Amino acid sequence: MTADTFDLIDEWGPEKIVCVSDRRTGMRGVLVIDNTARGIGKGGTRMSPDLSVAEVARLARTMTWKWAATDLFHGGAKAGIQGDPRGADKERILRAFARALANEVPREYVFGLDMGLTEADAAIFADELGDRGAAVGLPAALGGLPYDELGVTGFGVAEATDAAAARLALDLKGARIAVQGFGAVGQAAVRRYAELGAVIVAVSTAEGAVIDADGIDIQRLIELRREHGDRCVTEYGPAQPPAAALSVDADILVPAAREDVIDVDVAKTTTAALIVEGANLPTTPAARELLHERGITVVPDFIANAGGIVAAAHSMDARQSPFPVEPGAVFTMISAKLRANTDRVIEESRQRDIPPHQAAYALAQERVREAMRLRGAPMERQR
Ligand SMILES: NC(=O)c1ccc[n+]([C@@H]2O[C@H](COP(=O)([O-])OP(=O)(O)OC[C@H]3O[C@@H](n4cnc5c(N)ncnc54)[C@H](O)[C@@H]3O)[C@@H](O)[C@H]2O)c1
């Protein structure tokens, strides 16, 4: 039985759900604008074969909290197309989707990148609506900011790590760090850790893990990745199974690959005093509880990996400007914001003796609630 779409609505939102379809291309898609109390809804656009309205609504809600936790003035939104991102008719479907949302875009929503979409797809959206402001994530040749190439998210993860380590009186210079994942996020984080003087004792990809208590030669690993992709670890050698990176003796653990990898078993045995979530949802709820009991600090994903949304905020702002976004300004803001937010969440978590995730959600919810209150919408009248 399909749940009623009204069931998705609670006191926060969504404010608007727009389902669209197109007979000729078979396009089916949805835009969910969750909560705009703090600003226009913003969140990426994804394409996947089994996409559902409920999934897009959940992601839109996550964006509401992410923007508020980072203290940037956008609201939560997300859009999605149900379809195969590798299909031959992708461009026609994207164009049909853009046309169907022409009433909402760009006034209420701006397309962005998420699973299944690339910079080239953002360019199609902008072209179809005849408006460069209809999408962010455009190729550099159209004035866009190449987030992954610049490594904005990984840089932010490392900045958050440095701020959290300082709180624990752990000097990042000389600290031993293990990183799971060596993609856009993991690699950029490792590069920044090396600049900050940390010793990288483990790095893994889906192909394996390299471990060296004396420190991995990061430059060499980066060069190998350029040539061999995920197989850089086996080329560096000797490689162990990927999971080995999570159980090495380290001061700081950085999951930057997949969800649910830090489970109760890892939480029970890790030697790390600090875990920084580079990936989304890498720590299970049970593991978070256990880590809190063990006095191990976890910097939540939507605090630590918010570098991408700081970059997205700059891109939103620059959509109609002839001047491309200056990466230096983005990095400066990522550093300042993520350090301040990490500090604030750890402080709240300590003062109230609650896990940092709970502290971060509470902080985001307080900000959204206050914005809703100021707009004159008492909570009890929202249902
Ligand atoms: N790219 C961003 O700006 C961004 C922003 C916020 C959150 N994230 C999240 O960060 C995570 C990583 O994103 P990314 O953009 O770096 O992805 P990516 O595809 O560039 O890299 C993923 C890396 O993880 C590795 N990996 C996969 N399975 C593994 C396993 N079992 N063990 C060890 N390594 C494994 C892959 O080999 C690869 O090196 C995802 O959870 C993503 O949602 C990314």
Strands 297-299 and 274-276: parallel
Domain identity same for 139 and 167: no
- Tell me the pLDDT tens digit for each residue of 162-180: 999 999 999 999 999 999 9
Q: What is the pLDDT of residue 1?
A: 44
Indicate the SS3 state at residue 337.
Answer: helix
Domain identity same for 53 and 191: no
| Tokens encoding 330 | 């983005």
Q: Is residue 381 domain-resident?
A: no
For residue 59, the CA-to-ligand 1 centroid distance in Å is: 18
Q: What CATH number should be reported for the domain holding residue 213? A: 3.40.50.720
Give the C-alpha separation, 14 to 262, whole Å: 31
Domain identity same for 137 and 246: no
Q: Does the beta carbon of 306 lie inside 6 Å of ligand 1?
A: no
- Greatest alpha-carbon pair distance for the chain in Å reads 62
C-alpha atoms less than 13 angstroms from C-alpha of 119 in its C-beta half-sphere = 13
Q: Does the beta carbon of 166 lie inside 6 Å of ligand 1?
A: no
Domain identity same for 359 and 252: yes
Indicate the SS3 state at residue 274.
Answer: strand
Q: Is residue 2 domain-resident?
A: no
Q: What CATH number should be reported for the domain holding residue 140? A: 3.40.50.10860
Provide the total of helices (H) and of strands (E) in the chain, helices listed first.
14, 11
**Ligand 1 atom 8 nearest Cα:** 279
Ligand 1 atom closest to residue 301's alpha carbon, by position in its atom list:
7
Domain identity same for 33 and 180: no
| Tokens encoding 276 | 């920084």
Domain extent, residue 247, equals 150-307+338-363
Catalytic: which of 16, 78, 90, 173? 78
Number of independent structural domains in the chain? 2
Domain identity same for 124 and 215: no
Domain identity same for 170 and 297: yes
Domain identity same for 132 and 193: no
**Ligand 1 atom 31 nearest Cα:** 206
Domain identity same for 127 and 213: no
Q: What is the pLDDT of residue 259?
A: 87
pLDDT < 70 stretches in the chain: 1-2, 377-383
Q: Does the beta carbon of 235 lie inside 6 Å of ligand 1?
A: no
Q: Does the beta carbon of 155 lie inside 6 Å of ligand 1?
A: no
Give the C-alpha separation, 202 to 185, whole Å: 15
The total number of residues shown for the chain amounts to 383
Q: Is residue 326 domain-resident?
A: no
Q: Is residue 162 domain-resident?
A: yes
Q: What is the pLDDT of residue 105?
A: 98
Q: Is residue 378 domain-resident?
A: no
- Tell me the pLDDT tens digit for each residue of 238-264: 999 999 999 999 999 999 998 899 999
Q: Which segments are annotated as binding site for NAD(+)?
A: 153
Domain identity same for 138 and 209: no
Strands 75-82 and 28-35: antiparallel
Give the C-alpha separation, 163 to 370, whole Å: 27
For residue 254, the CA-to-ligand 1 centroid distance in Å is: 11
Domain identity same for 165 and 302: yes
Give the pTM: 0.91
Q: Is residue 40 domain-resident?
A: yes
Q: What is the pLDDT of residue 147?
A: 86
Q: What is the pLDDT of residue 2?
A: 57
Ligand 1 atom closest to residue 187's alpha carbon, by position in its atom list:
16
* Distance from the Cα of residue 19 to its chain's centroid: 25
Of 144, 161, 192, which residue constitutes the final position of a domain? 144
For residue 48, the CA-to-ligand 1 centroid distance in Å is: 18
Q: Does the beta carbon of 205 lie inside 6 Å of ligand 1?
A: yes
Residue 173 a catalytic site member: no
Q: What is the pLDDT of residue 379?
A: 56
Domain identity same for 122 and 172: no
